[in-house]
């Protein structure tokens, strides 16, 4: 009887450790142009989707700064820890920056190039990323399409989510 309980306990502990070592795959697909503005987010574990959301930016209103001030610093720190523990599986993006003002276009172009280099240096996965950023000083339309997949260990995610609650 004791042997059976020890065997069940050992199986339970082994399964718990295996589950915590699983990776969550977060996939982001976006398109921003004059016709469509959306972001699709999905999260999978073992090819089983447990979260899917489509965000339409055409009717999206940003909350005011006063509403978000409460604990944004803690959320940012937790997000930063999760991102450090994450792995960029792949990223493909094609972005064209164009505004009425050439100075703003230049600033946006440089800002996006800096973000691109930061992502490339943090994840060091240049062979898995294809990010094209361009600037058009004669038109007035911002366009971006892309796909990104990030994986995070389930144990790290659970730990940071518990801190937020």
Rounded to whole angstroms, the Cα distance separating 143 from 45 reads: 31
User: Are the CB atoms for 118 and 130 separated by under 8 Å?
Assistant: no
CA–CA distance, 18 with 4 (Å, rounded to integer) = 21
Average pLDDT over residues 69-94: 73
- Phi/psi region, residue 25 (left: phi>0; alpha: psi -120 to 50; beta: rest), is beta
- Rounded to whole angstroms, the Cα distance separating 40 from 114 reads 24
How does pLDDT run across 108-150, given as a tens digit for each residue?
889 888 888 877 776 655 556 788 888 888 878 788 889 988 8
Q: Are strands 87-97 and 129-135 parallel, antiparallel or unpaired?
A: parallel
Q: Does the model's pTM come out above 0.75?
A: no
């Amino acid at each position: 009887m004791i042997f059976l309980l020890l065997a069940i306990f050992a199986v339970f502990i082994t399964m718990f450790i295996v589950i915590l070592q699983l990776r969550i795959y977060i996939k982001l697909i976006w398109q921003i142009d004059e016709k469509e503005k959306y972001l699709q987010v999905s999260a999978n574990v073992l090819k089983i989707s447990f979260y899917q959301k489509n965000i339409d930016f055409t009717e999206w209103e940003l909350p005011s700064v006063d509403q978000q001030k409460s604990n944004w610093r803690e959320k940012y720190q937790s997000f930063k820890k999760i991102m450090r523990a994450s792995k960029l599986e792949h990223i493909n993006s094609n972005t064209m920056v164009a505004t009425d003002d050439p100075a703003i276009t230049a600033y946006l172009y440089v800002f996006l190039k800096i973000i691109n280099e930061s992502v490339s240096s943090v994840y060091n996965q240049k062979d898995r990323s294809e990010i094209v950023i361009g600037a058009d000083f004669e038109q007035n339309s911002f366009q971006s399409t892309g796909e990104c997949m990030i994986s995070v260990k389930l144990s790290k995610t659970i730990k940071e989510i518990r801190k937020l609650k």
